[in-house]
Chains A and B, each alone.
Chain A
Amino acid sequence: MTAAVHTPTSEPVRFWSRERKVGLAVTVAGVLAAFGFGALAGDQPASFTLADNTSGAAVSINGLLGAVLFGLLGAAAGAGLWLPGARRWFGALLAAGIVAVVGSFLCWQLSDSALNIMPLGQVAQGSMRFALPLIFGGLAGVLGERSGVINIAIEGQFISGAFAAAMVATLLASVWAGILAAAVGGLVIAALLAVLAIRYLVDQIVVGVVLIVFALGLTGFLFEQLMRQDPSRYNQPARVPTWEVGLLSDIPLLGPVLFRTNIFVYLALALVAAVHFGLFHTRWGLRTRAVGEHPTAADTVGVRVLGMRYRNVLVGGVLAGIGGATFTLEATTNFSKGMTAGLGFIALAAMIFGRWSPVGVLLAALFFGFCRALAIYLGTIGSPIPSQFLNMLPYLATIAAVAGLAGRVRAPAADGKPYVKG
Chain B
Amino acid sequence: MTSDPAEPAPAEPAPSTPAPASGPAPDSARWGTRFLYHLWSANAFTVTALAIVLALLIGAVLIVVSDAEVRATYGYLFARPGDALTASWERISDAYATLFRGAVVDPGAIGRALDGTGSWAAVFGPSSETLTAAAPLVFTGLAFALAFRGGLFNIGVQGQTILGAIGAGLAGFLLPLPVLLHLVLALLAGGLAGAAWAFGPGILKARTGAHEVITTIMLNSVAAIFIGWVIIQSWALDQSRQGAISHPVDQSARLPRLFGWLDPGLRVHLGILVALAAVAGVAWLLNRSSVGFELRAVGLNPQAARVAGMSVTGTYVLVMVIAGGLAGLGGATVVLGTAYALTTLVAGSVGFDGILVGLLGRAKPWGVFAAALLFGALQAGGRAMQTGSGISLELVQVIQALIVIFVAAPALVKATFGLRAIRIGRISGVAARGW
Shortest CB-to-CB span from A5 to chain B, Å, is: 10
In the complex, the answer to whether B395 meets A221 with C-beta atoms within 8 Å is yes
Q: Are B355 and A403 in contact (CB under 8 A)?
A: no
Q: Which A382-402 residues sit within 8 Å CB-CB of chain B?
A: 386, 388-389, 391-392, 395-396, 398-399, 402
Contacts of A204 in B (CB 8 A): 432
Contact A209 B155 (CB under 8 A): yes
Q: Which residues of B contact A349 (CB under 8 A)?
A: 214, 217-218
B210 / chain A contacts, CB cutoff of 8 Å: 399, 402-404
User: What residues of A have a CB within 8 angstroms of the CB of B349 in the complex?
Assistant: 213
Q: Is B219 an interface residue (CB 8 A)?
A: yes
Asked if B305 is an interface residue, CB under 8 A from chain A, the answer is no
Given contacts A202-B408, A224-B394, A392-B226, contact A150 B356 (CB under 8 A): no
Q: Which residue on chain B has the smallest CB distance to residue A217? A: B397
Q: Which listed residue (B219, B394, B404, B430) contacts A395, Cβ 8 A?
A: B219
Does B90 belong to the interface (CB within 8 Å)?
Answer: no
Do the beta carbons of A220 and B392 come within 8 Å of each other?
Answer: yes
| A342 surroundings in chain B (CB, below 8 A) | 220-221, 224
The answer to whether B66 and A225 have CB atoms under 8 Å apart is: yes
- In the complex, the answer to whether A388 meets B228 with C-beta atoms within 8 Å is yes
A218 within 8 A of B: yes
B338 interface residue per 8 A CB criterion = no
The residue in A196, A204, A205, A207 that gathers the most chain B C-beta atoms within 10 A of its C-beta is: A205
Chain A CB within 8 A of B215 CB = yes
- The reply on A43 being an interface residue by CB < 8 A is no
- Take A218-B398, A224-B394 as given contacts and tell me if A200 and B412 are in contact as well, using a CB distance cutoff of 8 Å: yes
Q: Contact at A225–B391, with CB atoms within 8 Å?
A: yes
Q: Cβ of A417 < 8 Å from any Cβ of B?
A: yes
Q: Decide if B209 is an interface residue (CB 8 Å cutoff).
A: yes
Chain A residues whose C-beta falls within 8 Å of the C-beta of B153 in the assembled complex: 205
Q: Which residues of A sit under 8 angstroms from B353, Cβ to Cβ?
A: 213
Asked whether A217 lies within 8 Å of B401 as measured between CB atoms, the reply is yes
* Residue B411, interface by CB 8 Å: yes
B395, A150: Cβ atoms under 8 Å?
no
> For the complex, is B261 an interface residue (Cβ under 8 Å from A)?
no
Query: Chain A contacts of B431 at CB under 8 A?
Result: 203
The minimal Cβ–Cβ distance linking A413 to chain B, given in whole angstroms, is: 8
Contact B359 A220 (CB under 8 A): no
| B392 x A386 contact (CB < 8 A) | no
Contacts of B404 in A (CB 8 A): 206, 210
Q: Is the CB of B229 within 8 A of A1?
A: no
Q: Which residue of chain B is the closest to A226 with respect to CB atoms?
A: B66
Cα of A212 to Cα of B351 in the assembled complex, Å? 14
Q: How far is the CA of A399 from the CA of B217 in the complex (A)?
A: 10
Which residue of A is nearest B412, CB measured? A200
User: Do the beta carbons of A399 and B219 come within 8 Å of each other?
Assistant: yes
Cα–Cα, bound, A349→B214 (Å): 8
Interface residues on A, range: 35 or more
B78 CB → nearest A CB, Å: 25
B residues near A222, Cβ cutoff 8 Å? 66
In the assembled complex, B409 has its CB within 8 A of some CB on chain A: yes
The contact string, 1 if C-beta is below 8 Å from chain A, for chain B 238-249, is: 000000000000
A59 at the interface (CB under 8 A from B): no
Q: Is the interface of B mostly helix, strand, loop or mixed?
A: helix
The answer to whether A210 touches B401 (Cβ under 8 A) is yes
Give 1 or 0 for each of B392-408: 1 = CB within 8 Å of chain A CB.
10111110111011001
Residue of B nearest to A341 (CB): B224
Do A213 and B225 touch (CB < 8 A)?
no
Q: How far is the CA of A203 from the CA of B153 in the complex (A)?
A: 11
Task: Verify if B213 is at the interface (C-beta below 8 Å from A).
Answer: yes
| In the complex, chain A residues whose CB is within 8 Å of the CB of B433 | 416-417
CA distance A205 to B211 in the complex (A): 12
Asked whether A414 is an interface residue with its Cβ less than 8 Å from the other chain, the reply is yes
Chain A nearest CB, measured from B118 CB (Å): 31
A224 B405 Cβ-Cβ under 8 A:
no
A306 to B111 alpha-carbon distance, docked (Å): 59
Report whether A398 and B405 are in contact in the complex, using a CB–CB cutoff of 8 Å. no
Q: Does A201 contact B (CB under 8 A)?
A: yes
Q: How far is the CA of A143 from the CA of B87 in the complex (A)?
A: 45
1/0 per residue A222-262: CB within 8 Å of B?
11111001000000000000000000000000000000000
Known: A150-B434, A200-B409. A206 touches B214 (CB 8 A): no
Q: B158-201 vs A: 1/0 string, CB under 8 Å? A: 00000000000000000000000000000000000000000010
Counting chain B CB atoms within 10 Å of each CB, the highest count among A225, A348, A391 belongs to A225
Docked complex Cα distance between A200 and B68 (Å): 36
B434 pairs with A396, CB closer than 8 A? no
Tell whether, in the assembled complex, residue B397 and residue A213 are in contact, meaning their CB atoms are under 8 Å apart: yes
Q: Does A36 contact B (CB under 8 A)?
A: no
Given A210-B405, A352-B214 in contact, is the A415-B394 Cβ separation under 8 Å? no
Is B208 part of the binding interface, using a Cβ–Cβ cutoff of 8 Å? Answer: yes
Residue A345, interface by CB 8 Å: yes
A209: which of B66, B209, B352 is its contact (CB, 8 Å)?
B352
Contact status of A217 and B359, CB under 8 A, knowing A229-B68, A415-B435: no
Residue interface bits B322-354, CB-to-A below 8 A is 1, else 0: 000000000000000000000000000100110
* CB interface residues, B 404-435, toward A, < 8 Å: 404-405, 408-409, 411-412, 427, 430-435
Q: Give chain B nearest CB distance to A167 CB in angstroms.
A: 12
| Residue of B200, B222, B408, B434 with most partner-chain A CB within 10 A | B434
- Least CB separation from B204: chain A residue: A403
Interface residues in A123-142 by Cβ distance below 8 A to B read none
Residue-wise interface mask of B (59-92) relative to A, using a CB-CB cutoff of 8 A (1 in contact, 0 not): 0001000111000000000000000000000000
The 10 A-B residue pairs with the shortest CB-CB distance, nearest first, are A416-B434, A217-B397, A224-B392, A214-B401, A225-B66, A220-B394, A221-B394, A415-B434, A395-B218, A217-B398
Given contacts A220-B394, A404-B210, 20 further A-B contacts (CB under 8 A): A2-B209, A148-B434, A203-B408, A203-B431, A214-B401, A217-B397, A220-B397, A221-B397, A222-B66, A223-B394, A229-B68, A342-B221, A345-B218, A349-B217, A392-B222, A402-B208, A404-B209, A416-B434, A417-B432, A417-B434
Can you give 13 A-B contacts (C-beta < 8 A)? A205-B213, A214-B397, A221-B66, A221-B392, A221-B398, A224-B392, A346-B221, A388-B226, A402-B204, A404-B210, A411-B434, A414-B434, A417-B434
